[in-house]
């Protein structure tokens, strides 16, 4: 709970400052890049959380990784987070910033997991249906999960819709595990 409160404070501050500096779109791209980097590279967070590595080394590491790819404004914000010893929350801050951005632009995040790649026609139909359902623009994030076998798993806001064959098989397995046979009938 503490990390969410801290992430909210810092993300709101960054959001407000980026609007004041007319850098909202740029900072949004930077935060998306940072969030993706932390999701894909576990070692990065381990290095930055290490008490053995000094603060100036951490700043140098961050600069080497992100400086060519993000705006100087965002880089200064990250430097402040490191100096305040709050870098363990950077991925939460980035996610909260992206939530604020989506809310301000009336965008809903929809995550869809499928066993096979979705073609362009199906993707546009999904987006159209979700747009009608939410009355918002849709940011669709796709993930391949072969264990679903078929169908899909869709998450949007607090709603989850599961039509995967895997879940249907698990449900059937559960139903068959209950013995409804009564002896003597």
DSSP string over 58-99: HHHHHHHHHTTTS-HHHHHHHHHHHHTT-GGGHHHHHHHHHH
Residue 23 confidence class, pLDDT cut points 50, 70, 90: very high
Residue 118 and residue 29 in contact, taking contact as beta carbons nearer than 8 Å: no
pLDDT at residue 19 in the model: 96
CA dihedral for 155, 159, 163, 168, sign (positive or negative): positive
Q: Is the pLDDT of residue 185 over 60?
A: no
Taking CA atoms, 65 is separated from 33, 34, 69, 135, 146, in Å, by 11, 10, 8, 38, 32
Nearest alpha-carbon partner for 96 in 161, 182, 16, 180:
16
State the pTM of this model. 0.80
pLDDT, tens only, 135-145: 999 999 999 98
pLDDT at residue 101 in the model: 97
pLDDT, tens only, 81-111: 988 888 888 889 999 999 999 999 999 999 9
């Amino acid at each position: 709970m503490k990390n969410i409160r801290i992430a909210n404070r810092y993300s709101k501050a960054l959001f407000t400052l980026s609007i004041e500096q007319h850098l909202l779109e740029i900072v949004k791209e930077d935060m998306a890049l940072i969030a993706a980097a932390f999701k894909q590279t576990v070692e990065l967070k381990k290095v930055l959380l290490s008490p053995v590595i000094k603060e100036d080394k951490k700043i140098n590491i961050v600069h080497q990784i992100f400086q060519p790819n993000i705006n100087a404004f965002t880089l200064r914000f990250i430097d402040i987070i490191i100096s305040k010893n709050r870098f363990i929350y950077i991925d939460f801050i980035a996610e909260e910033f992206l939530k604020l951005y989506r809310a301000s632009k009336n965008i809903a995040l929809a995550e869809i997991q499928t066993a096979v790649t979705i073609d362009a026609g199906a993707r546009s139909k999904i987006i159209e249906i979700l747009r009608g359902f939410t009355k918002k623009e849709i940011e669709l994030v796709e993930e391949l999960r072969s264990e679903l076998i078929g169908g899909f798993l869709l998450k949007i806001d607090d709603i989850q819709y599961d039509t995967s064959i895997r879940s249907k098989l698990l449900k059937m397995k559960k139903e068959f595990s209950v013995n409804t046979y009564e002896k003597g009938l």
